[in-house]
Each structure stands twice: as structure tokens, then as C-alpha cells.
Amino acid sequence: MLQNAIQIGSLTLKNRLVMPPMATGKSYNGRVTEDLIAYYRDRAQFSAPGLIILEHAFITPAGRASAGQLSIADDGCIAGLTELVEAIHQAGSAVIAQLNHAGSGAEPETPGVNLSASAVPSPRKAELGTPREMTAEEIHETVAAFARAAERAVKAGCDGVEIHSAHSYLLNQFYSPLTNHRTDEYGVQTMENRLRFHLETIAAVRKVVGPAVPIALRLGGADYLPGGSTEEDAVEACRLFEAAGVDLIDLSGGMCGYVRPEHPEPGYFATMSEKVKAAVHTPVLVTGGVKTIADAEALLAADKADLIGVGRALYRDAHWLENA
């Protein structure tokens, strides 16, 4: 099943193997480097994933997660991204750019008070201090920044874009009850309110990329922490994303990051992805702990997801497919 083609919106993938976004720190001042190009080219060439989702790129300097992070925050990024995308395409894989704002987890070049849904420290980067609650105007400005970043990705030749709302970053901070204590229209009173920022971002991105470019959304669907978001929340959220026109749902962890405590088994987010897949028609991608081809095939055969992400194993070994 892993070698079966699949349709993501207007994009046909040659197989169901996905290289998910993983930060490499190989960019320089946010720009694409030869080292970064070689890293992706080798994995496309030797392990042949149908889709590579690029590591998260910051949409504005204030939302930069780390010094070595890739940028998509200005038009000067387009030339390098174009070269990167062309190298991956030549090696045979489709490419989606992941767009992100780190929110309370940001480490911008000019330190200052970080922004978040509420004045609650990042559960994963509490050392950065207490952020300031975003105003509605700042939310609207950030929505526009996501749209401009998506437009740059398309200009660079990307086959699609992914909006990042996982691993305790900004949009995930609005989704999670642990970090969203607002009482306005972006608060936690209803799922629609928790996702209002997301839905406005999806609409703005769709407006600039047009109807044919696939939009993916990576959701940290469950925090797996007391009082946090749940797998049932993820099902409700993904129904709304499907209605909003998202073409691919990419599931991972929320405030727990990209790991699930006490669950080392292959596909450790599959209990969530199985529930979401049963509730939507949009293709579902799950990543987490998959190390072998047999792991991936078993998850597909059990109807846990439509696509399987192989993360750390591919990160460590460009020849994973040959060695697996």
C-alpha cells in the first residue's frame, strides 16, 4: 500500500511515504544553503518519498523559533527556495513549504516580549518568559503574513503549503486550552473560537494561492496533558478544517511536542489519526515513531491514516528506504 499513488487536492503523489518537516539548522540567516539543498536532494533521490514537507519557515522575524531556522518572511527568500525546490523536483518528490510563527516559543534576533493567545508561558520554552496576549489587530496582521508567505512559496515553485499548528507554536497556542485563556471571539468557549485564527488564515492563504494549490494543515491535535486538548477535540477541529477547504490533515502532538510520553510504539499518534480519518474524507497523514517499511505498511493496512510520515529515521539516513 505504501507504493500506491494518492491524490492531495490537485496534486498526485507517486506514493504514500512522506518526509515530514524537521528542523535541520542548516540555513544561514534564514537563507537556503548548499548544505540544505544537498540534505533534501539526497533524501528525495535515495528514499523517494512521494512528498517532502520542508522544515518550518518563519513568516515574520518576530516569529522565528531558532537561529538556524529557514525564513519565508521576505521576497529575498524566493531565489534560494526556488533552487531548493528544483533540486527536490529533479530527484522525483513533490514539495510543500511549511509556514510557521513560533508565538511564545519565538527566539527572534531582537529579543522582546513574545506574543501568544494569552499571557501564559510556553509549556516547552518556559525559560523565554511570559508572553503578551495578542490583540485582534495583531492576529489580523499575522494572518496577512501567513498569506504573503504562502504566495512566496508558490512563486518558488512549491506544490503546496502547510500551515503549522502543532508542537506548541502560535496557532497551536490558540487551539490548546492550556495556553488560550481568552474570552473574546478567539477564546476557548467553542471550537469555532479556538480555530478562528486558523480558519481566517486558511481563507487568506487560499485567496492568494488560488483553488488549485493544495493547502495542508499540521495540527497538534492532542496535548496528552491534564486540561489540554484531546483526541476528540482533534476530530471536531479536523471536521472544521475539511469544511474550510484544507486538502491534507497532518497530525502530530500539541504541547507535548512531536513525542507522546510513554508511547514509543510505531505510529504513536495513530490512536488520534484513526479517529480523525473515520470522521473526514480529507487525506490524513500521521507521523511518529515509524522506523521501518513494515511499520508504515501496518499502519496503512489498519486504516490508521492515508499517508505515513517517516521522520527521525529519514533525518538520520538519506538511504533509509534502501536500508529499511
User: Active-site residues: which are they?
Assistant: 169
Contacts (Cβ under 8 Å, ≥6 apart) of 79: none
SS3 labels along 172-234:
HHHHCCCCCCCCCCCCCCCHHHHCHHHHHHHHHHHHHHCCCCCEEEEEEEECCCCCCCCHHHH
Between helix 196-209 and helix 136-155 the angle, nearest 10°, is 30
Retrieve residue 94's grid coordinates. Answer: 513533490
- Sign (positive/negative) of CA torsion 252, 58, 162, 207? positive
Contacts (Cβ under 8 Å, ≥6 apart) of 282: 238, 241, 242, 246, 247, 248, 249
Retrieve residue 79's grid coordinates. Answer: 531565489
| Pair type for strands 11-13 and 6-8 | antiparallel
Retrieve residue 124's grid coordinates. Answer: 516547552
Q: How far apart are CA 125 and CA 134, in angstroms?
A: 18
Q: How far apart are CA 309 and CA 294, in angstroms?
A: 13
DSSP bridge pairs for 28:
31
CB 39 within 8 A of CB 24: yes
DSSP bridge pairs for 64:
none
